[in-house]
């Protein structure tokens, strides 16, 4: 089982290339250059933004801003 670290949606397995309810496309926006520590930071920032946005689906611009902030 895989649980989205942003919105806690449950999947039977890692949903590669699928877009979650929170707006994150797994295997793309969470790639983090293959760096697992960086990926954890990304998920944390995505989660913070998601909660601050009243748990509304993140827009592509919001996702892009988070990704840029971690680079």
pLDDT at position 2: 95
pLDDT at position 49: 93
pTM metric for this prediction:
0.87
pLDDT at position 51: 97
Low-confidence ranges of the chain (pLDDT < 70): none
CA–CA distance, 45 with 49 (Å, rounded to integer): 6
Mean pLDDT across the chain: 93
Residue whose C-alpha is closest to residue 47's, from 13, 71, 70, 14: 70
């Amino acid at each position: 089982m895989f649980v989205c670290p942003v919105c806690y949606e449950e999947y039977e397995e890692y949903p590669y290339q699928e877009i979650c309810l929170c707006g994150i496309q797994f295997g793309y926006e969470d790639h983090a250059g293959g760096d697992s520590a960086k990926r954890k930071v990304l998920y944390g920032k995505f989660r913070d933004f998601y909660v601050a946005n009243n748990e509304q689906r993140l827009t592509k611009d919001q996702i892009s801003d988070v990704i840029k902030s971690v680079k």
